[in-house]
């Protein structure tokens, strides 16, 4: 499922970053985007382990992951207005 979702939406990450940041700030924007993505890749397994240790089951960890995905979706949907190239 993750690979399908990444394949369907992953190609937009660099294109939207270039469009929103413009030519002068594209590298900084994409760098920050990758930084936060990698930080979440470090934090998620730790949080999952803590939740599983506390509850004894994976259900709450999956629920938190789903909630974070919905928050991400809403932030992109609501937070980003019409995309127009910067000059």
pLDDT digits (tens, 9 = 90+) for 38-68: 998 899 999 999 999 999 999 999 999 999 9
Terminal CA-CA length for the chain = 38
Q: How confident is the model at residue 83 (pLDDT cuts 50, 70, 90)?
A: low
Its pTM stands at 0.66
CA distance 15 to 72: 18
Q: What are phi and psi of 29, to 5 degrees?
A: -60, -50
Please name the residues in contact with 29: beta carbons below 8 A apart, sequence gap of 6 or more.
17, 18, 20, 21
- Mean pLDDT is lowest, of 29-33, 43-47, 69-73, 79-83, for 79-83
Q: Is the pLDDT of residue 13 over 80?
A: no
């Amino acid at each position: 499922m993750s690979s399908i979702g990444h394949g369907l939406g992953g190609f937009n990450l660099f294109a939207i970053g270039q469009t929103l940041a413009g030519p002068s700030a594209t590298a900084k924007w994409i760098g920050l985007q990758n930084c936060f993505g990698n930080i979440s890749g470090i934090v998620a397994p730790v949080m999952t382990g803590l939740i599983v240790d506390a509850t004894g089951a994976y259900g709450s960890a999956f629920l938190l992951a789903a909630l974070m995905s919905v928050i991400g979706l809403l932030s992109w949907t609501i937070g980003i207005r019409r995309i127009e190239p910067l000059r």
